């Protein structure tokens, strides 16, 4: 067995080791080498003419269609997602939802966008799609019953993000996807939080599964990359539109992402176990109004998470009780082991003041059921440090807050 056998027969951790390592991409090496190329040379004119008519991963044509390093990563991501026909790669995570939307929508269409979506995705939907005559309407993805009534004559697509990367709502993807598909909509999901090992998007009714590989696939805070994995119905148009718009990812970044993929299972396992310990500790503090972490028993979304997911990651949010924004900022500034930064998923812990209320059209903030005195939110990404050290750091930051 060269590289893990048929990926379908193994559990996710085993598939992460073998996926995309077929000999055509690796040669005799364990990992696919970095193939840097803008130009592939043809034997003769007949071969070059014949090459014009074949457009698929694995066929050398031109650098914009990628080479073995990109194909190996795309193939690995396809193998990790049961029901997938193929994967396209993009130079940032944001380009992935952008391209997924552009491949299923045309002028005159409407897309329903879940109101907890990542804010640059929202901005694209509102500002850029408008210029192409495509309308974006925000809705509350937790209102499953009310959803079918939102679908109008022009609605062509549904874009979900679950959990929402700031406010952590877990939506009922199978129910929303079934209602959307009954009316012929394309179903898109930003699945970055759980990834393909934690939530099998296509098996739950999604057509196009979006990942910011920048996060825990890369895992080391040193690359930008995105992907969309699609089923047989949508992959051809995703591929066509992506190539028409000149999308491709760098082979260097793809090689880093392949390396990250091999250890992703252990990193996610460690990060989410530590996050659970820290979330439980935070939940017992009098200063904390609510912990929003779907993996935590009793937290919002936990029951749906338990039903549909096989894993998660160490990204979660908590809401402070009865404190002003300045107190929240003092707490964050007092932390020593948590860097203040945006791009979660790396080996190092991060903290961020988040403002879901700035990017909402229909969903309430703070969320329903939360202590009305709580409002100011802090997002933590739990990295690979010892969780006891992270708790001690949070403890001293909360103590500093009491003294102030
Ligand atoms: C859920 C989600 N999707 C997409 C992105 C975009 O990824 P990138 O930063 O690689 O553009 C992010 C980035 O934070 C994200 O959190």
Indicate whether residue 343 lines ligand 1 (CB < 6 A). Answer: yes
Share of the chain above pLDDT 70, in %: 98
Q: What is the pLDDT of residue 375?
A: 83
Indicate whether residue 263 lines ligand 1 (CB < 6 A). Answer: no
Q: What is the pLDDT of residue 352?
A: 98
Q: How many CB atoms lie within 10 A of CB 6?
A: 10
Specify whether the backbone of 362 is left (phi greater than 0), alpha (psi in -120 to 50) or beta.
alpha
Indicate whether residue 118 lines ligand 1 (CB < 6 A). Answer: yes
Residue from 92, 98, 118, 221 to probe ligand 1 pocket by mutation (most atoms less than 8 Å from CB): 118
Indicate whether residue 192 lines ligand 1 (CB < 6 A). Answer: yes
Strand intervals (E) in 93-251: 110-114, 135-139, 155-161, 186-190, 208-212, 226-230
Q: How confident is the model at residue 2 (pLDDT cuts 50, 70, 90)?
A: very low
Tokens of 290: 């609510």
Going from the C-alpha of 151 to that of each of 105, 110, 138, 172, 179, the distances in angstroms are 15, 9, 12, 17, 9
Judged on CB neighbours under 10 Å (0-12, 13-18, 19+), 10 is middle
Q: What is the pLDDT of residue 403?
A: 67
Residue from 116, 123, 212 to probe ligand 1 pocket by mutation (most atoms less than 8 Å from CB): 212
Q: Is the separation of the CB atoms in 354 and 379 below 8 Å?
A: yes
Tokens of 199: 């939530």
Asked which of 21-25, 92-96, 380-384 is least confident by mean pLDDT, the reply is 21-25
Q: What is the mean pLDDT of residues 42-58?
A: 93
Q: What is the mean pLDDT of residues 115-128?
A: 95
Q: How confident is the model at residue 7 (pLDDT cuts 50, 70, 90)?
A: low
Q: How confident is the model at residue 199 (pLDDT cuts 50, 70, 90)?
A: very high
Nearest CA to ligand 1 atom 8: 93
Strand partners, 318: 291, 378
Nearest CA to ligand 1 atom 9: 93
Place of tokens 């939110």: 377
Q: What is the mean pLDDT of residues 319-331?
A: 91
Q: What is the pLDDT of residue 359?
A: 87
- 162 CA from centroid of ligand 1 (Å): 13
pLDDT tens readout for residues 218-258: 999 999 999 999 999 999 999 999 999 999 999 999 999 99
Of 292, 345, 282, nearest in space to 316 by CA: 292
Q: What is the pLDDT of residue 1?
A: 39
- Going by their DSSP bridges, the two strands 186-190 and 155-161 should be labelled as parallel
- 166 CA from centroid of ligand 1 (Å): 11
pLDDT at 92 over 70: yes
Specify whether the backbone of 397 is left (phi greater than 0), alpha (psi in -120 to 50) or beta.
alpha
Tokens of 333: 């500034």
Q: What is the pLDDT of residue 304?
A: 98
Q: What is the pLDDT of residue 167?
A: 95
- 161 CA from centroid of ligand 1 (Å): 11
Q: What is the mean pLDDT of residues 20-48?
A: 95
Q: How confident is the model at residue 367 (pLDDT cuts 50, 70, 90)?
A: confident
Tokens of 82: 């049961």
pLDDT at 6 over 90: no
pLDDT at 345 over 90: yes
Q: What is the mean pLDDT of residues 59-67?
A: 95
Chain mean pLDDT for the chain: 95
Question: CA 181 from chain center: how many Å?
Answer: 22
């Amino acid at each position: 067995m060269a590289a893990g056998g048929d990926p379908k027969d193994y559990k996710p951790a085993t598939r992460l080791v073998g996926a995309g390592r077929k000999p055509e991409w690796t040669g005799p090496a364990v990992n696919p080498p970095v193939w840097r190329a803008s130009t592939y040379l043809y034997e003769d004119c007949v071969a070059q003419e014949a090459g014009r008519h074949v457009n698929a991963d694995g066929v050398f044509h031109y650098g914009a269609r990628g080479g073995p390093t990109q194909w190996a990563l795309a193939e690995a991501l396809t193998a990790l997602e049961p029901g997938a026909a193929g994967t396209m790669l993009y130079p940032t995570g944001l380009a992935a939802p952008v391209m997924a939307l552009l491949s299923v929508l045309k002028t005159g269409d409407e897309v329903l966008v879940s109101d907890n979506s990542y804010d640059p995705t929202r901005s694209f939907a509102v500002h850029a799609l408008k210029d192409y005559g495509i309308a974006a309407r925000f809705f509350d993805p937790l209102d499953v019953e009310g959803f079918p009534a939102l679908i109008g004559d022009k609605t062509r697509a549904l874009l979900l993000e679950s959990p929402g990367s700031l406010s952590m709502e877990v939506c009922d993807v199978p129910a929303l996807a079934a209602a959307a598909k009954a009316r012929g909509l394309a179903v898109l999901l930003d699945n970055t939080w759980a990834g393909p090992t934690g939530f099998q998007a296509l098996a739950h009714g999604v057509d196009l599964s979006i990942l910011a590989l920048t996060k825990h696939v890369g895992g080391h805070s040193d690359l930008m990359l995105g992907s969309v994995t699609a089923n047989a119905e949508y992959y051809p148009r995703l591929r066509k539109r992506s190539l028409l718009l000149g999308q491709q990812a760098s082979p260097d970044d793809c090689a880093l992402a392949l390396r990250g993929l091999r250890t992703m299972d252990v990193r996610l396992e460690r990060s989410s176990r530590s996050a659970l310990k820290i979330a439980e500790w935070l939940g017992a503090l009098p200063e904390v109004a609510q912990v929003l972490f779907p993996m935590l028993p009793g937290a919002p979304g936990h029951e749906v998470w338990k039903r549909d997911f096989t894993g998660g990651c160490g990204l979660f949010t908590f809401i402070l009780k009865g404190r002003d924004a300045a107190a929240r900022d003092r707490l964050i500034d007092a932390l020593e082991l948590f860097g203040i930064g945006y791009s979660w998923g790396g080996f190092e812990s991060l903290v961020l003041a988040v403002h879901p209320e700035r990017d909402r059209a229909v969903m309430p903030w703070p969320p329903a059921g939360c202590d009305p005195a709580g409002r100011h939110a802090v997002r933590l990404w739990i990295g690979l440090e010892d969780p006891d050290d992270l708790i001690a750091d949070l403890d001293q930051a909360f103590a500093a807050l009491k003294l102030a």
